[in-house]
Amino acid sequence: MSIKIYHNNSCSKSRIALAELTKSGEDFEIINYLENVPGVEELKAIVQKLGIRPFQLVRTTEKIYKEKFGNLNLSDEEWIKAMHENPILIQRPILVKGDVAIIGRSEEALDELF
């Protein structure tokens, strides 16, 4: 079963996850999510596979979050829409294999997927 990695090459954690994925020998597909923005339904599926609420996928350290969303109390649907419209808000890297997804920011998380 192939792995999808939602990747941002300017992120060191994403580059590390991609290198580990390459070493693993697993088949994978790279999705540069800033260029190929996941649709609303795709984001909903990712959140479900992660087993989290949409807000937990939001990068609250991003400038746009602080300027535009930091003081808002949005619904799950509104957070999904915000991430779709502003993909820089999406945590990275996300790896999806079948019905399982992880945010691959640590070696331990990556080990769970492999």
Q: What is the mean pLDDT of residues 73-98?
A: 97
User: Do residues 63 and 39 lie in contact, with contact meaning Cβ atoms separated by under 8 Å?
Assistant: no
CATH code of the domain in which 13 resides: 3.40.30.10
pLDDT digit string (tens) for 12-63?
A: 999 999 999 999 889 999 999 999 999 999 999 999 999 999 999 999 999 9
Q: Which domain holds residue 68?
A: 3-113
Examine the residue annotation and report whether 11 is marked as an active-site residue of this protein.
yes
Q: Cβ contacts of residue 45 below 8 Å, gap of 6+?
A: none
The count of structural domains within the chain is: 1
For the packed helices 76-85 and 40-50, what is the interaxial angle rounded to 10 degrees?
120
Sheet of 3-7: strands edge to edge?
28-32, 3-7, 94-97, 100-103
Q: Which of 5, 8, 10, 11 is catalytic?
A: 11
**pTM above 0.95?**
no
